[in-house]
Structure 1
Amino acid sequence: AGHAPLVRDALEVPEDRQILCGISFGYSDTAHPANSFRTTRAAVDEVMDWR
Protein backbone atom coordinates (compact mmCIF):
# COMPACT_ATOMS: atom_id res chain seq x y z
CA ALA A 1 0.00 0.00 0.00
CA GLY A 2 1.25 3.45 -0.82
CA HIS A 3 0.84 4.74 2.74
CA ALA A 4 1.69 1.51 4.56
CA PRO A 5 3.57 3.15 7.49
CA LEU A 6 0.66 5.50 8.22
CA VAL A 7 -1.90 2.69 7.96
CA ARG A 8 0.30 0.36 10.03
CA ASP A 9 0.50 2.92 12.85
CA ALA A 10 -3.20 3.86 12.73
CA LEU A 11 -4.42 0.25 12.79
CA GLU A 12 -1.61 -1.10 14.96
CA VAL A 13 -0.59 -3.66 12.33
CA PRO A 14 2.42 -5.68 13.56
CA GLU A 15 5.61 -5.75 11.50
CA ASP A 16 5.14 -9.46 10.73
CA ARG A 17 2.00 -8.62 8.69
CA GLN A 18 1.80 -7.16 5.19
CA ILE A 19 -0.60 -4.45 4.10
CA LEU A 20 -2.00 -5.19 0.66
CA CYS A 21 -4.69 -3.68 -1.47
CA GLY A 22 -5.91 -4.29 -4.98
CA ILE A 23 -8.42 -2.52 -7.17
CA SER A 24 -9.81 -3.77 -10.45
CA PHE A 25 -11.49 -1.48 -12.97
CA GLY A 26 -13.55 -2.30 -16.02
CA TYR A 27 -14.99 -5.53 -17.32
CA SER A 28 -13.23 -8.83 -17.87
CA ASP A 29 -12.84 -10.19 -21.37
CA THR A 30 -14.57 -13.53 -20.85
CA ALA A 31 -13.14 -14.85 -24.13
CA HIS A 32 -9.51 -14.28 -23.08
CA PRO A 33 -7.78 -17.46 -21.79
CA ALA A 34 -6.28 -15.61 -18.80
CA ASN A 35 -9.77 -15.03 -17.42
CA SER A 36 -10.58 -18.75 -17.26
CA PHE A 37 -7.69 -19.48 -14.87
CA ARG A 38 -8.90 -20.36 -11.36
CA THR A 39 -7.01 -21.19 -8.18
CA THR A 40 -8.04 -22.56 -4.82
CA ARG A 41 -8.34 -19.99 -2.07
CA ALA A 42 -8.15 -19.98 1.70
CA ALA A 43 -11.24 -18.93 3.58
CA VAL A 44 -11.39 -15.18 4.18
CA ASP A 45 -11.30 -15.65 7.97
CA GLU A 46 -7.99 -17.51 7.62
CA VAL A 47 -6.24 -14.58 5.96
CA MET A 48 -8.17 -11.47 7.03
CA ASP A 49 -8.22 -9.61 10.32
CA TRP A 50 -11.33 -7.39 10.32
CA ARG A 51 -11.05 -4.24 12.43
Structure 2
Amino acid sequence: MSGEQPSHLQEAARKAQSKADRTGAGKQRAGELQSEADRAAVPKHGL
Protein backbone atom coordinates (compact mmCIF):
# COMPACT_ATOMS: atom_id res chain seq x y z
CA MET A 1 0.00 0.00 0.00
CA SER A 2 1.22 3.47 -0.77
CA GLY A 3 0.49 4.84 2.69
CA GLU A 4 -2.36 7.02 1.45
CA GLN A 5 -5.48 7.42 3.51
CA PRO A 6 -8.48 5.39 2.35
CA SER A 7 -11.19 7.32 0.55
CA HIS A 8 -14.53 7.94 2.22
CA LEU A 9 -16.01 5.23 -0.02
CA GLN A 10 -13.38 2.72 1.05
CA GLU A 11 -13.95 3.58 4.70
CA ALA A 12 -17.73 3.23 4.35
CA ALA A 13 -17.28 -0.11 2.59
CA ARG A 14 -14.95 -1.35 5.31
CA LYS A 15 -17.43 -0.43 8.04
CA ALA A 16 -20.36 -1.99 6.18
CA GLN A 17 -18.40 -5.19 5.58
CA SER A 18 -17.35 -5.36 9.21
CA LYS A 19 -20.96 -4.99 10.34
CA ALA A 20 -22.12 -7.60 7.83
CA ASP A 21 -19.45 -10.01 9.05
CA ARG A 22 -20.49 -9.51 12.67
CA THR A 23 -24.25 -9.54 12.28
CA GLY A 24 -24.90 -11.30 8.99
CA ALA A 25 -27.07 -8.36 7.94
CA GLY A 26 -26.40 -6.05 5.02
CA LYS A 27 -24.10 -8.39 3.11
CA GLN A 28 -25.42 -7.33 -0.29
CA ARG A 29 -25.08 -3.62 0.49
CA ALA A 30 -21.57 -4.17 1.84
CA GLY A 31 -20.61 -5.85 -1.42
CA GLU A 32 -22.10 -3.02 -3.43
CA LEU A 33 -20.19 -0.44 -1.41
CA GLN A 34 -16.98 -2.40 -1.86
CA SER A 35 -17.50 -2.58 -5.61
CA GLU A 36 -18.17 1.14 -5.76
CA ALA A 37 -15.03 1.88 -3.74
CA ASP A 38 -12.98 -0.41 -5.96
CA ARG A 39 -14.23 1.30 -9.13
CA ALA A 40 -13.45 4.71 -7.64
CA ALA A 41 -9.92 3.59 -6.74
CA VAL A 42 -9.05 2.70 -10.34
CA PRO A 43 -8.78 6.26 -11.67
CA LYS A 44 -7.36 7.53 -8.38
CA HIS A 45 -4.60 4.93 -8.02
CA GLY A 46 -4.37 3.41 -11.48
CA LEU A 47 -5.20 -0.11 -10.27
Normalised to the residue count of structure 1, the TM-score between the two structures is: 0.21
State the structure with bigger RCO (CA 8 A, min sep 6), 1 or 2.
2
Greater C-alpha Rg: 1
The structure in which a higher percent of residues are helix is: 2
Normalised to the residue count of structure 2, the TM-score between the two structures is: 0.22
